[in-house]
Each structure stands twice: as C-alpha cells, then as structure tokens.
Amino acid sequence: MYKPASKQAWKGRTDAHDDELEFRWHQVIKFLDLSGEVTPVPDGEVAFVFLGFCCDEGVRRNQGRTGAVDGPSSLRSAMAPFAHHLSSNVMLYDAGDVLCTNQNLEEAQEQLGRKVAVLLQQGYKPLVLGGGHEIAFGHFLGLDRATVKQKLGILNFDAHFDLRSYARHSSSGTPFLQIADKLHAQEREFIYNCIGIQQQGNTRILFHIAEKLQVQYTFAEQVQGHTLPVLQEQLQVWIDQVEAIYLTIDMDVFSAAYAPGVSAVNALGLQPGVVLQLLQQVIASGKLLSLDVAELNPAFDSDNRTAKLGAALLYHAVSEWANV
C-alpha cells in the first residue's frame, strides 16, 4: 500500500515567512505523488526525495522489538526544523510512505522496489526512511530494476550481517542473503561491505556465510577515531572496485548512548563522528546511488536522540551529495 505525503508531517519553528535566509526545511519541502506519472528532474536541478517504508514485519519475524514502523514519521519530525542552507537549484521532496499491510512483507518490499526504481529512472536521489532492515531487500529491488548491469557495491553500517537463512520466511535478518542469491542468479557479483560488526551479535554460522560470500567486514572495536586513516584507506580500496554504491545505515550500529531507540540496542557501538567521516567519503566518490536509514524505533527512544542522530546523518548526506 502507498500513502502520498502531506504537509502535516513537516512542522517546525518558523523564523520568517518571506525571508529565504531564515527558512527551514519544513518551509521548502515539496511533495511528490508516486501513485501517478512522475516527471523527470529538470536539467540543472538536483532533487532529493524522502520515501518512507513503514514496516517492521521483518523485525517481528526476526523476534525483535517492534516499533520501527513509526521510524519514518519520527525522522521527518526531526528533519523539519533544520536550517535551510542548500543552493537554489537543490530541491527537497517528500514522496510519502510505502506501508506494510496485513503482515505482507513481500508485497511491501515489491512496492518499495517499484517506487525506488521510478525515482532513479527519473533522475531523483532517493533517501529511504525505515522501518526495519527488511527495507534493504525492497530498496535493492528498485536499484536492480534501475541500474541494469552496473557493478553494485553494498555498504552497510550495522552491528549485524543480516545474512540469515530465509528458507522458512524472510525477515529483517535475511535481506543481504536474499540480495546475494538474486545477484548470483543473474551471474553478478555480490560485493558487500559491513562496518561495525559485533561478534556477540552474530552466530558462527553467519561468519561462515560471510566468508563463503567473500563479505568484507570490520568489527566495531576497530572503528575508532584513531583508526580513521586506516579505515578510510580500506574503504577507498573497496569504493574503487565498484561502479555504483547502495549505502544503508542500521541505527543499531551506534552506541546506546547515541541511539537508544533501536530494535536491538547496542552497548558497545560506534561513535557518530567516525561514521559521518566514512559517509562523506562515500558521497565524495560520486558513486552513491541511494541510501536508507533503518531500525529507528521511536517506541524506545529517549528525548528523540536516535531520531535526531538519523536525521543529522541525512542532513549531512544531502548537504554533501548536493555538491558532488
């Protein structure tokens, strides 16, 4: 099911009604209805589109804490009051939400894939708001439709591989194995890099699967401020081997001090500043196709800390990406 966007989701402080120098995001956001024909982005314009994926059925199936279904609205609320510093040719759009109804995860993922594909084909830059990490398979379906045979790299900031078997059913823990199998069926490479892995959060079988699939990964304890130069070198080598990048940020990669509002809280997670530096490196490569933020669970957030962190990452992504 698809629900178009409305102004109701974008509210915030207003410093002035007629002075653009005092505008905030909620005053400049435009709306894009994906239920009809979508016009291409005009020449010379850079257009970012927020698309929500209101679903945590995959989290429920994975025996996690539900509540991520409300993640998109929480992220919008946190982004609405941002000060507007973008150039006049850079546009922000809200394209509404894909909803998971009647626990039909697979249908919701297919719907998300169709919407993402249309946006990419028409020249928009999608920023997908989750939702559980089952968002990744739906998001990939859109990339797969739109990018034809590009050599795609998948970069995941996450405490978990999410390479579980989907023999019984798919879930928030299975998307990257689903993606691997789909790519291999097309005789394409599965190029997957996961940064922030927690050994205690992944069983031995998941490490075996990761090794079999030649997954590149970095343990959370290795992702520190003092190791940033090494991390950047490693990331650049990975970036150089791909033609396009899908970037996904699972909010449970961060320490609980920064991100308490997640489906699987992380006591020893990453610091946001380090992730931001790596995110900026990916964007500067010019290879980023789209990104998403997953596993924000407002039901367990504290003072909206997690939503504000996810929103801040999106703010910096837009700001950097607009200049590439």
CATH of the domain at 52: 3.40.800.10
Tokens of 269: 């997670």
pLDDT at 290 over 90: yes
pLDDT tens-digit readout, 41-72: 999 999 999 999 999 999 999 999 999 999 99
Mean per-residue pLDDT for 191-216? 98
Task: Map 130-162 to HEC letters.
Answer: ECCCCHHHHHHHHHHHHCCCCCEEEEEECCCCC
d(CA 225, CA 5): 39
Using alpha carbons, list the distances in angstroms from residue 26 to 49, 288, 323.
14, 25, 21
Q: How many C-beta atoms lie closer than 10 Å to residue 316's C-beta? A: 14
Is 206's pLDDT higher than 90? yes
Residue 24 DSSP label: B
pLDDT at 150 over 90: no
**Residues of the domain holding 314:** 2-321
Residue with tokens 């059925």: 57
* Least confident among 9-13, 103-107, 177-181, 209-213: 9-13
**Higher-confidence residue: 16 or 135?**
135
- Interatomic CA distance for residues 161 and 196, integer angstroms: 9
User: pTM for the complete prediction?
Assistant: 0.97
Our count of domains for the chain comes to: 1
**pLDDT over 90 at 149, yes or no:** no
Contact 142, 305 (CB under 8 A): no
| Token pair belonging to 258 | 């920064």
According to the model, what pLDDT value does residue 147 have? 76
Contacts of 78 (CB under 8 A, 6+ apart): 304, 307, 308, 310, 311
pLDDT band for 251, please (50, 70, 90 cuts). Answer: very high
Q: Per-residue pLDDT for 195 more than 90?
A: yes
pLDDT of residue 152: 96
State the average pLDDT over residues 272-298. 98
Picking from 202, 195, 220, 307, the residue whose alpha carbon sits closest to that of residue 270 is: 220
Confidence of residue 85 (pLDDT cuts 50, 70, 90): very high
Average pLDDT, the chain: 96
> Residue 6 phi/psi, 5° resolution?
-145, 155
pLDDT band at 148 (very low <50, low <70, confident <90, very high): low
